[in-house]
Chains A and B, each alone.
Chain A
Amino acid sequence: MEMDSIPNGNSAVSTPAVTTPTNSTHTTPSSKLTQLTESLKLEHQFLRVPFEHYKKTIRANHRTVEKEVSSVISGVNDAADSDMSKDDAFQHLTSLVSRLQGLKRKLEEGSRTENLQAQRCRARLDHLESVDAENLSEWSNTRLKRILVDYMLRMSYYDTGMKLAESSNILDLVDIDVFQEARKVIDALQNREVAPALAWCAENKSRLKKSKSKFEFQLRLQEFIELVRVENNIRAIAYARKYLAPWGATHMKELQRVMATLAFKSHTECATYKVLFEPKQWDYLVDQFKQEFCRLYGMTLEPLLNIYLQAGLCALKTPYCYEDDCTKEDPLSQESFRKLALPLPYSKQHHSKLVCYITKELMDTENPPQVLPNGYVYSTKALEEMAKKNNGTITCPRTGFVCNYSEVVKAYIS
């Protein structure tokens, strides 16, 4: 709210001051539009994830073609160099043809997947483009649903995620199929199997290396610990030579610590080593995997829901939210929201914003605040209506103070 200015020299309170028209800082269409643009800019992950998925499919398809074609060519080359009988040559070449036919089918299927994924990338761009002032509330509802599905998938509540996406018809706008890949690895880790996780690491080797991930090393450490746990020391040492030693250059400390378990064994009481044998190490691996997975796909490491909840709670949090008479419409009147907001900072305002106690409407230049003789402030609209109903008598709803409407004065809040 901008400052009301009173013409110079006009100091009598009772004279209705001429207020110059002021521009309100919010709800002008153009500021609404910039606000919307700013919110759209938050949607990086929404476009990035399906694209990463698409890229991955393209790369995998390409690798298959390259591999098969070169092996067919070298197959011909070998045959040309060898002493094959006519029948053998015939057999050999026909088998190569059928191999190529197989590749062709595979490639066609691969293209179909690629096209579907390209379509999904487009659908998301279209979805972002479709928002305007008219459908904003519906669009925001869909946005919340997308964020909730993201939460479900990250927390492994797959059924709920699927159900919500299907019933809201937003399958193209959520990443259920991307998370299918993660699900296999997570399920296996929860069953204390590392094989699928290692396979995943191999599949994404170059990118994990680029981000200096040590996830594979952590998986190897855990496998080693499991060998020590069952006191299969010979195999443990062989395993360490093969799989842990290559990490020595960069992670010597951890390597040394885990090797020491050979001496301490699984029933040790020494805290440094005891913790390595605890079952929660597996939960830790699951968390670690989730992080690597999200990073690879360009997702935020935190669920989107948590990020927006936190920002929203900060923006809404005021000292008044924790008072008993906090309005129910404020999310922070609810215990659960108060609890989440407790460690968060309060919002900050540079301008006064007054809400009428009676009507809950904003008091601005169109509906200016008026002061009762007891100092309580209400909106003009509320007091006018009260005066009309009660022949000019005003009763303060908070104190029971009674006065006449003519005793009320206007307050200028800047």
Chain B
Amino acid sequence: MDLNPIKDAFDHVSKKQKLSSSKAQEMIDQIMQEIEKAVEIIQSGQSGSEFEHKSVLGELNKKLQEISPISQLEGTQKELNIALSKYPKQLEKSFNPDISKAYRNIDFDIHTVNQIIGSHFYRLGLFSIGDCFINEAKEPESTVAMRSMFSEMYLIVEAMKDRNLIPALKWAAANSDKLKENGSDLELKLHRLQFVEILQHGSRGEALTYARTHFAPFAFNHLGEIQKLMACLLWTGKLDRSPYSELLSAANWNTVADELTRQFCNLLGQSFESPLSVTIAAGFQGLPPLLKFMNVMAGKKQEWQSMKQLPVPVELDKEFQFHSIFVCPVSKEQSTDDNPPMLMPCGHVLCKQSINKMSKNSSKTFKCPYCPDNIDATKCTQLYF
């Protein structure tokens, strides 16, 4: 988006503002000078005349009327006013002036929203802000459960930042079975980090003992990995010059910390990304097409308030795709339990209703809309995504 025209328009406003305020300063100085001059004459009483001050005052008055500061100020002010009223118009033209146009007038339950926000702060590790919020919004303690869950996670991750793996290993050992169930080799990855640490700073013997105690349980599934690690023993103290130097990369710590966060959230029954972040990001992608629709359908505001399905397709990036959606290419309808997707013998897929229609309820064969095959409806099978 090109913001330069808007920036220029703003620069224009601020230039006019500076001009106007320096003009005002100048004007005040000028008036002040005139008055001070008059004061000086009166004070010195040069001519000694009794009524001199009168003529000085008259003179001063005339002079000030001549300068007519107010009308002078008006000129610059007028230009400034024009710039001030132009700029918002330009903003309105370049931006979407009313993003609430596609807003349904339903009130979100404040407590639900607040709990979502509180959990969001805790899961990002912003504990003191979360506490402050829960306190200020007078939300009940239930969100605090989230706090204690995530505070353990952040203790572990913080310790990892200081290259302390003890809390992480402890947690992984305690949840070893569940991690295996998820197909995660996080525990081995943590041991690998520790092993490399020992190799770099400690003795070969120590590393060997560590490997014996901790690698053995993983031998069955991760033989190759362990063999590689054992080969590292040959380069104790000079791993950086070995073929395995990539094991030393600091990035390994970050990836393992990420994996730990992912697994930790998973075991808590939570998503890896904050659900609030995901929803708001989806909102930023989804709102523009909705606003466009509302602009076109200005008269149908009433209908919008009660629609059961969005009137326009909203395409989101694939990171927001959590479910399989099948849209029948013939009827353009989304599949349902009553109208499931069916695989035709040629490999193309249509919805059951479309197949029924084209085969006149299985009474005749029909041509596949995508290839020259003749389809027998009874040979179509239901798909499960």
Contact = CB atoms under 8 A, between A and B. Distances in A.
A13 B293 CA distance: 42
B87 A51 contact: yes
B282 interface: yes
Contacts, number: 405
A11 B94 CA distance: 53
A6 B371 contact: yes
A312 B372 contact: no
A269 interface: no
Contacts of A9: 372
Interface of B is mostly: helix
A345 B310 contact: yes
Contacts of A8: 371-372
Category for how many chain B residues contact A: 35 or more
B271 A329 contact: yes
A302 interface: yes
A69 B70 contact: yes
A264 interface: no
A115 to B, nearest CB: 8
Interface stretch (A118-126, A221-229, A242-250): A118-126
B96 A140 contact: no
A336 B3 contact: no
Contacts of A38: 288
Category for how many chain A residues contact B: 35 or more
Contacts of B43: 90
Interface stretch (B107-115, B156-164, B172-180): B107-115
Interface string A56-70: 001001100110011
A357 B385 contact: yes
21 contacts: A26-B318, A27-B317, A39-B285, A77-B65, A79-B57, A86-B53, A103-B28, A104-B32, A160-B133, A164-B129, A306-B108, A307-B283, A316-B282, A320-B322, A328-B266, A329-B278, A343-B106, A348-B310, A351-B327, A355-B322, A375-B383
Interface of A: 3, 5-6, 8-11, 13, 17, 25-27, 35-45, 47-48, 51-52, 55, 58, 61-62, 65-66, 69-70, 72-73, 76-77, 79-80, 84, 86, 89-90, 93-94, 96-97, 100-101, 103-104, 107-108, 110-111, 114, 118, 121-122, 125, 128-129, 140-141, 143-144, 147-148, 151-152, 155, 157-160, 163-164, 167, 298, 300-302, 304-316, 318-321, 326-334, 336-337, 339-340, 343-355, 357, 360, 362, 369, 371, 375-377, 398, 409-414
Given A312-B281, A320-B323, 9 more contacts: A17-B347, A101-B32, A298-B88, A307-B283, A308-B279, A346-B309, A353-B321, A354-B326, A411-B383
Interface of B: 1, 3, 6-7, 10, 13-14, 17, 20-21, 24-25, 27-29, 31-32, 35-36, 38-39, 42-43, 45, 50, 52-54, 56-58, 60-61, 64-65, 69-70, 73, 77, 80, 84, 87-88, 91-92, 94-100, 102-104, 106, 108-110, 112-113, 115-117, 126, 128-129, 132-133, 136-137, 266, 269-273, 275-288, 290, 307-318, 320-327, 329, 332, 334, 336, 343, 345-349, 370-373, 381-385
